[in-house]
Structure formats: C-alpha cells, structure tokens
Structure 1
Amino acid sequence: MSQQRMRVLITGAGGRIGTTLALHLRDRYALRLHYHHAPPNPPVDDVVTGDVSDFAAMQRAVTGVDAVVHLAADPRTTAPWDSVLPNNIIGTYNVFEAARQAGVRKIVFASTNHVMGMYDRDHQWPVYSHLPVRPDSLYGVSKAFGEALGRYYADRYGISVICLRIGWFLSEPHDEISRWMWLSPRDCVQIVWRALESPLPFGIFYAISNNSGRHWDITDAMELLGYRPEDDAERFFTDTAEPAPDAS
C-alpha cells in the first residue's frame, strides 16, 4: 500500500510563487489552496477562501492538514503600516496559532531578503542567515516578526518551522541585482519541498538559486536542508562587448 501523501495548505496561493508551487507540488502532496478570492480555475479541487486577518477563516483553512506553507502577505516593500499590521503581522500570528490549535506539526514561512536589507544597502557582503536582522522596510520588519514567531512556536510548542528568506523570484534574471539574488521557479519549488520534508525543528535559510555572483550564503541550506539549486543567473548573461573590427 502506498504511503499517504502529506496534506499541505498553501496560503496566498494566488500570488506568483503560490501559483508556481501549486502547479509543481500538486502531484507530490495533497494540496489545499488558500485564496483571498477564489480564481475561476484553480489547479486543485481543495480550495478555501478568506482573509488571513480573520482568525476563524484561518482555523477553517488549516483543519485536517499536516503542514502549512505560509505565503500570504502584502509583499510590497513600500507597504504602509495600515496594510502591514493586518496582513503580515496579525495574519501570520493567525496562521501559526490556528495551525497549532489544529495539531499541524510543520510550517514553512515565506520570509524575505528584506529582513537583512540594510546589509545590502551598505554593501556589507556576504550576508549570513545567522547575522542580526537589519530590515530595510516595514515589510522587512513584518517578516522578521514572522521569523521570531516561528522560533517561539518551535521552542514552545515543538512545531517544526522553516523560514525561507526568498530572493527575487523571476522566470529569468534581467539586471545586475537579479543577477545575484535570483530564485528560479524550479529552485523555489525544490527548496520548499525540502523545507516541508526536513526534520529540523527550526531554521532560517536564504532561498536563492546557485548564482555565481550571489552575496547571500546558502551553504547552510545545502548542508542542512539538502538543497541542490539547479540554476545560475550567469547563464543568462554573456559578454556583450562588440567584436574587434577587421584589420583589413
């Protein structure tokens, strides 16, 4: 008899990352997708809707699942406090607490490079996941809160929490910044499933591809999660110098 698939809730499944994960993980896991408003043709049948700031809605969403991938948030670095508070702080607490009450034992939290953004501003590279947080925005502050909340739920309640500091999720890198912070779709899918299946009680890791020019360290993700990124932004960049003219 085949082993029963892990039941995984993805919050914020309507975003770019959520859409990619749903399409590529639906054969690996029994997915439930959470949307603010349901799309017309979701990729799986198990769909829930609701606002993450509504605790009762999150209780309904987590009922019966084994794990949660929490993506739902206002992702704008310019997001004002009036949006950050309900969507990124109260919403994250609601997901964690509803999951705890429902007996969920694994949470993968979508954090961000903006938790450490001031290191990037000051060109203080390389950046390691264990350094003190230096958020560059209220968005970054809200994600630092989520990481701290995850640490608390891991230590206090024994829930395995993996926080992924996601770089720049793009189909292809297109400029110098994306050249070192790119996260390809297939590497994103891989690091999420490795986080879901990791036995670690807690961890914070950078989620970027194997970019030759990266400024953020992914050694711990490779060693502790078994992450094996397949893509490197450098393959999209070639020498654009004009060829030397003929001497004739």
Structure 2
Amino acid sequence: MRKVLITGAAGQIGRSLRELLAGCYQFRCLDLKPISGADDVIIADITDFEAVSQAMDGVDGVIHLASNPDVQQPWEDVYRGGIAGTYNVFEAARRVGIKQLIYASSNHVSGWREVVGESHITPEMVVRPDSLYGVGKAFGEALAQFFVDQYGMSIICLRIGSFLPYPNSDRSLKTWCSPRDLAQLVQKSLDHQDLGFQIFYGVSNNTNRIWNIDNARQLIDYQPQDNAELNYITDKPNV
C-alpha cells in the first residue's frame, strides 16, 4: 500500500480524506497539533524546512493541505504559511525524489470572476484572485508549474469549492464539493501517474455549477456523485 503524507491532516478536509480513503493508502499525518486515531503522526510547522524534510522519508506522494483557511487573513499569514510553507513542502519532496503531489489550492484564485458575475469559469483562464488569500494560492499554483517544468514532477492543483457536509446557502448550491466527491477527485489524481501540471476544480455535479470540470472528467475520469440541488438542507451548520 502506498504511503502518502498529508500536511494539515487535522483539518476538516484532512480528517475527511483520511476516513474515506483509509483503505486505499497508508497515511502519514503532519500538523501543528496531535491527531487522534492516527498511527503515524508528525507534529511540526510547514515553515520548518528540516521537519518537513524528515516527514518525507519513505513517502510515495504528498497531499498538501496545510494553510490558514481564513480568506481575510493578513498578508503576513499568507506569506508565512501559504507561500514560504508551500515552497518548503514542494522543495522537500523534490529533494527526496517524490514525484507526485496534490496541492490544495482554492476557488479564490479565480474568485473575482465570480464577483463580477461570470458563470462559466475554466481552469485555463488567467487567475483573478478575490483576496490576498487567493493571491497566496495563485503563487502555489505558479510554484507547482515551475516544479513540474524544472524537475519533472507531477503536481495537481485542486481549486476546492465549498467543502461542507451539505450545501447550506444559495452560493453553495453552485460551489459545493461533497466529501465523497473530493475524496474521489484526490484518489483519482493520485492513482493517475505522470499528469504533469494540472488544475482541477473541486466541485460536485451541481446543476448550477459555475466552474468547468471537463478536464478532470477527461484526464482522470472524475465522475462526481452528488448534486447540491438534491442535497440542499438549510438547517445543517456551516462547518
């Protein structure tokens, strides 16, 4: 069974992926805090290059989730975790010969297109961030492209939508990504080798979806199972 490092493994997405993909991979978990129920855990900050490098030992692939999820975070936090930390993860993986990474980008990389009312947004469009957080994620995508071109790695950037147990707002009817659909997208991204640099939108098969997922369908046979229109429950908490 392949061993996969998850950075930010204690977060909501990390917990979900570990649960839903438990039978597919052996996970090593890296986070700032202890993680209950996990056997292989490293407590470290991704800004600590030496610690990140040690976490790469014996790993076949990396899912890089670690970041401050606050869209309104100050630039200092964007730079420290989103930029410097992401460089550490990519470079540490490169130095030990890991070729395959998944980078948790964000829909906020193209968020300004949503602000101005665009309704068909594709991965090929020029980035248009809606926040400094989105700027930091755009940097991660550019860094991924460089590592693929310069070092022959395979890095998939997932622009994850509204990751909620259930859609719970008008916006999430368009942007929702269910836990099982994201798990499928991650698994198929990991199980397809030598994809080079790709950007996939992490979104379910929502009727009014504003992000295009044709490239994920074609390249990795992503077939989202959920539709926000059919799973809309207004009394679920926004978690």
How high is the TM-score relative to the length of structure 1? 0.91
Shift of 1:26: 2.0
Q: 1:226 maps to what in 2? A: 221
- Asked if residue 67 in structure 1 is aligned to residue 67 in structure 2, the reply is no
- Asked if residue 174 in structure 1 is aligned to residue 168 in structure 2, the reply is yes
Q: Secondary structure at the match of 1:33?
A: strand
Shift of 1:237: 4.3
Aligned match of 1:213 in 208, 211, 215? 208
Shift of 1:226: 1.0
Aligned match of 2:76 in 79, 82, 92? 82
Write the letter of the residue equivalent to 1:14. A
Gapped regions of structure 2 (runs ≥ 5): 234-239
Highest Rg: 1 or 2?
1
Shift of 1:67: 0.3
1:87-129 per-position Cα deviation (integer Å, ceiling 9, x unaligned): 1100000000000011101000000000001000000121000
- Tell me the C-alpha RMSD between the 2 structures: 1.1
Shift of 1:157: 0.6
Gapped regions of structure 1 (runs ≥ 5): 239-248
Aligned match of 1:187 in 181, 184, 188? 181
Aligned match of 1:14 in 10, 13, 18? 10
2: distance between equivalents of 1:127 and 1:22?
30
1: distance between equivalents of 2:174 and 2:119?
12
2: distance between equivalents of 1:69 and 1:186?
16
2: distance between equivalents of 1:22 and 1:181?
23
2: distance between equivalents of 1:205 and 1:28?
21
1: distance between equivalents of 2:56 and 2:72?
30
Write the letter of the residue equivalent to 1:17. I
- The total of aligned residue pairs comes to 232
- Asked if residue 129 in structure 1 is aligned to residue 123 in structure 2, the reply is yes
1: distance between equivalents of 2:231 and 2:196?
37
List, as ranges, runs of 4+ consecutive aligned residues in structure 1 with deviation greater than 3 Å. none
